[in-house]
């Protein structure tokens, strides 16, 4: 098994005239949790659907587990587990029957299947409800079972497409712990989300996607490092913008500064210290501060910094 479990290069997907994925490239290492972070419509689900063999790409290459995505689909399918955004379960069947069905589809059977079902139900805390129809479950229980159904055949790579949508905080935590356990067991996970905190908590590396492009790809630390110590947006009177740029550049905690939409965007090595220096400078030059916004260094602000819009826009 190669150390790079997923390798994609210049992936393109079109729906008619609309290009949903525009030349996306990345690789995911074995045992890594790789996050695709972006707002709705960014192209995350399309990308994960291509990798899960659901959609044919219109361009680019990809290998999964070392196998070519287009030529060696048969070899890829047993390696992967897929948890779609929808609750892809049969609501009138019991949890046990659902898992038994998906297990049989993957060729499991007999005592091995029974043992596997019992083990995964225990893992997600649903053993006592095994015989109950799924339609009687809470939203969180359904989500947990939804993930379990993608794991029944013990895949090497798991595709999780927004697995916490519509889930209560308790079940969300349960899902996080479950994914962390999978990572500890060495599973490779590709995780799409538009929740920054999920990516921050779970992912080793994160690719930030928007409008079909990958805008940035790095470890959490690396991405946050894009903001340095944080970004300050400061609104000043029109005549002061150009006048103050050189002294701001000279401040010790400022990395870069530029005028943007009538404000100054100041990238810092330490936002708090830079803010104090800025206020001192404005007071000394008698320039009024019209507005002030400080972006703490986190994924949310990195996304805002990269796209100019909020993650949940």
Partner 1 sequence: MLKQILALTWKDLKVFFKDLGGVAVIFLQPFMFIVIMSYALGGLFEPGEDQIQLLAVNQDRGTQAAAILRQLDEMDAFAVETTWEGQPLSREMAGKLIVDGKRNLALVFPPDFSAVLEQDPAAEERQTTKILVVVDPATSSQFVEPILGTLQGLLERTTYTAMMPKGIDYFFERLAPQTPSEQREEFKAQAQEAMSGGLLGGQEPLVTMERTVPAGMHVEEYPDAFQQNVPGYTIYGIFWIVSLLAGSVLQEKREGTFRRLLVAPMNRVVMLAGKLLPYYIINLIQLVIMLGASSLLFGMNLGHSPTGLVAVSLAAAAAATGLGVLVSALVRTEAQVGGLTVLLLLTLSALGGCFVPRFIMPAWLKTIGLVTPHAWALDAYQDLLVRGYGLLDVLPKVGVLAAFAGLFFGIGVWRFRFE
The residues binding partner 1 (CB under 8 A) are: 49, 52-55, 74, 77-78, 80-82, 84-91, 102, 105-107, 149-150
Helix axes 238-249, 271-285, angle to 10 degrees: 120
Spatial separation of the C-alpha atoms in residues 235 and 288, rounded to whole Å: 9
Q: Cβ of residue 69: shortest distance to partner 1, in angstroms?
A: 13
Residue 146 vs 307, nearer CB to partner 1: 146
Select 35 or 103, whichever has its Cβ closest to partner 1: 103
Looking at the Cβ atoms of 105 and 276, the one nearer to partner 1 is: 105
Nearer to partner 1, 161 or 267 (CB): 161
The DSSP H or E segment spanning 73 is helix 73-76
For residue 165, CA distances in Å to 53, 162, 233 come to 23, 6, 32
Q: How far is the CB of 293 from partner 1 (least distance, A)?
A: 39
Nearer to partner 1, 22 or 77 (CB): 77
Smallest separation (angstroms) from partner 1 to the CB of 52: 5
CA nearest 85: which of 22, 147, 41? 147
Instruction: Output the smallest distance, CB 92 to partner 1, in A.
Output: 11
Q: Is 245 helix (H, G, I), strand (E, B) or coil?
A: helix
Which of 58, 45, 72, 129 is closest to 95 using CA atoms? Answer: 129
Structural contact between residues 205 and 27, judged by C-beta atoms closer than 8 angstroms = no
Question: From the CB of 78, what's the least distance to partner 1, in Å?
Answer: 5
- Asked if residues 139 and 150 have their Cβ atoms less than 8 Å apart, the reply is no
Nearest distance, CB of residue 88 and partner 1, angstroms = 4
Q: Whose Cβ is closer to partner 1: residue 54's or residue 70's? A: 54
Distance CA 120, CA 127 (A): 9
């Amino acid at each position: 098994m190669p150390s790079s479990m997923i390798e994609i290069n210049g992936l393109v997907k079109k729906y008619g005239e609309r290009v949903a994925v525009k030349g996306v490239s990345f690789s995911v290492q074995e045992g890594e949790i790789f996050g695709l972070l972006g707002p709705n419509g960014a192209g995350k689900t399309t990308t994960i659907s291509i990798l899960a063999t659901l959609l044919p790409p219109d361009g680019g290459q990809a290998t999964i587990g070392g196998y070519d995505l287009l030529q060696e689909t048969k070899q890829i399918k047993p390696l992967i587990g897929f948890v779609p955004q929808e609750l892809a379960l049969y609501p009138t069947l019991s949890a046990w029957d659902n898992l038994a069905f998906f297990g049989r589809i993957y060729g499991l059977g007999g005592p091995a299947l029974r043992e596997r079902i019992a083990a995964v139900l225990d893992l997600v805390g649903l053993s006592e409800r095994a015989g109950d129809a799924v339609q009687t479950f809470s939203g969180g229980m359904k989500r947990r079972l939804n993930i379990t159904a993608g794991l029944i055949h013990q895949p090497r790579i798991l595709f999780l497409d927004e697995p916490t949508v519509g889930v209560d905080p308790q079940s969300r935590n349960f899902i996080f712990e479950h994914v962390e356990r999978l990572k500890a067991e060495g599973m490779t996970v590709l995780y799409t989300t538009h929740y920054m905190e999920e990516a921050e908590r779970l992912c080793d590396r994160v690719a930030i996607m928007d409008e079909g492009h990958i805008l940035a790809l790095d470890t959490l630390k690396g991405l946050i490092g894009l903001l340095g110590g944080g970004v300050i947006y400061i609104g000043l009177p029109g005549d002061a913008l150009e006048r103050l740029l050189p002294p701001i550049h000279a401040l010790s905690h400022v990395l870069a500064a530029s005028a943007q939409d009538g404000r100054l965007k100041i990238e810092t090595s330490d936002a708090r210290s830079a803010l104090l220096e800025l206020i001192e400078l404005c007071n000394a030059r008698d320039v009024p501060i019209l507005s002030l916004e400080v972006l703490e260094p986190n994924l949310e602000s990195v996304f805002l910094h990269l796209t100019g819009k909020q993650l949940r826009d």
